[in-house]
Amino acid sequence: MPEAVTITFRDQTTGRINDLLIDEDQASAQSQNLLGYLAGALVSYKEEGIEFTPSVVFCDSIQNVLRAFPGALSHAVGTAPLDPCSGPRILKDCAPLSSRNWFIFIERIEQGMVNYGVFTYFRLPTAIPLYEGIQIDPNQFCILVRKISPNTIEIRGARGSVLTLIFSTVREAATSAVPINKFALACCIGLPDEETRERFKAYFTRVIEDALTSSHGTMLICGENLDLSRIPEMQDAVQVLPLLDFRAAFLEFQNGNTAGSILGLQRCEELLQGFLRCDGMIAFDTSGRVTAYRVFFRPTGEISERANAAEGGARRRAFEGLKGLVGGQLVSVLFRSQDGLTLQHGVDK
């Protein structure tokens, strides 16, 4: 009788990670296994009941990597063998120190050992994100492991290799970068100056991506001169007065680059995170402003039939129904499922 063969998700993960390391010209069994452990652990990592979502940089020299980031600062925490068994210790020591502005580094050194610790850099509104910064010098070995949705881990190398691991039974999958980029563009098409629009779009795309990464599923809508009181399907909403004006805060930073202007943008980002913790949708206009939150969609007529005919949960059905409003009251709709699936439907501009 032939021997039974079992293939686990771990087998598939480590195999794909090995392929990525080969593409990055850094194949190593121990590095592969440590990265495999981190990928699985970061999906739902908790200490004392508190969930942490640290981004981890795996490299040969953290100081060389940080040359791409002005004002960077690193703190060494410990040393451990280059082995997956060191993963729990590294995360236990460093994950509680991580945050939106602090990241974990693991630095390979001689004799099969690693140094590990945390680092930060000036995250100005116009600064490049970490995942882009590591690609500035493709000859400098660097791997970034980060959680990009509740069930999705992304592993990205300095040479441009990208591996996305989805810890979900959902069959449908799509990259979130394109839908988010299109929605962010819709939210700034009302800015008349092209140069300012491009700079604001780059910033606003990062804001939306960061917000969605920490959410457990949501929907965002965008409309030009959007008046929810005139849309029968959206009578239930909380108006934001005054508007949460990302555009004005960004322009203030761009023109003055003061500590106060940076604080103003941070306050906008924090409040947006709070809106995402509420039920319902968030409404934006085409000038980069949040106009309402806790927006509930109650389809009627043909829109209701379209929503009811769609497969999936309530949020996915609502997304399908909202498509019927795009081109009229709405310019763009963004859907993010709890499993990380990201979809966008909008008017091409």
Is residue 151 domain-shared with residue 26, that is, in the same domain?
yes
Q: What does pLDDT average to over the chain?
A: 85
pLDDT for residue 8 is more than 60 = no
DSSP bridge partners of 52:
45
Band of residue 143 on the pLDDT scale cut at 50, 70, 90: very high
* pLDDT on residue 6: 45
Question: What are the start-end ranges of the H helices in the chain?
Answer: 9-23, 29-41, 62-65, 87-94, 130-133, 177-186, 194-213, 246-256, 259-276, 301-309, 314-322
Could you read off the pLDDT of 210-229 as tens digits, one per residue?
888 777 788 999 998 888 88
Least confident of 76-80, 122-126, 207-211, 315-319: 122-126
Given 142, 166, 190, which residue is the final one in a domain? 166
Instruction: Name which residue leads in pLDDT, 167 or 168.
Output: 167
Q: Which of 14-23, 288-297, 308-317 has the highest mean pLDDT?
A: 288-297
Is residue 289 domain-shared with residue 231, that is, in the same domain?
yes
* pLDDT on residue 306: 60
Is residue 193 domain-shared with residue 159, that is, in the same domain?
no
- Assess contact for 54 and 94: CB atoms under 8 A: yes
Instruction: Name which residue leads in pLDDT, 174 or 40.
Output: 40
Is residue 140 domain-shared with residue 282, that is, in the same domain?
no
Is residue 314 domain-shared with residue 237, that is, in the same domain?
yes
Given 107, 140, 166, which residue is the final one in a domain? 166
**312 part of a folded domain:** yes
Angle between helices 29-41 and 9-23 (to 10 degrees): 130
Least confident of 38-52, 114-128, 170-184: 170-184
Is residue 255 domain-shared with residue 155, that is, in the same domain?
no
Is residue 83 domain-shared with residue 147, that is, in the same domain?
yes
**3 part of a folded domain:** no
C-alpha distances out from residue 190 to 122, 186, 196, 284, Å: 29, 8, 11, 12
d(C-alpha 310, C-alpha 332), whole Å: 19
Is residue 135 domain-shared with residue 183, that is, in the same domain?
no
pLDDT for residue 326 is more than 80 = yes
The torsion defined by the Cα of 9, 14, 18 and 20, in degrees rounded to 10, comes to 60
CA 186-191-194 angle, 5° bins: 100
**Which structural domain, as residue segments, surrounds residue 320?**
177-346
pLDDT for residue 302 is more than 80 = no
Instruction: Name which residue leads in pLDDT, 339 or 30.
Output: 30
Is residue 80 domain-shared with residue 196, that is, in the same domain?
no
Q: Measuring CA to CA, which residue among 338, 56, 42, 342 is closest to residue 215?
A: 338
Residue 71 dihedral angles phi and psi, to the nearest 5°: 70, 20
Query: Computed over its alpha carbons, how large is the radius of gyration of the chain?
Result: 22
Band of residue 329 on the pLDDT scale cut at 50, 70, 90: confident
Given 147, 166, 185, which residue is the final one in a domain? 166
* pLDDT on residue 37: 92
> Can you give the pTM of this predicted structure?
0.73
> How many domains would you assign to the chain?
2
Q: What is the CATH number of the domain that holds 301?
A: 3.40.1700.10
Is residue 67 domain-shared with residue 150, that is, in the same domain?
yes
* pLDDT on residue 312: 60
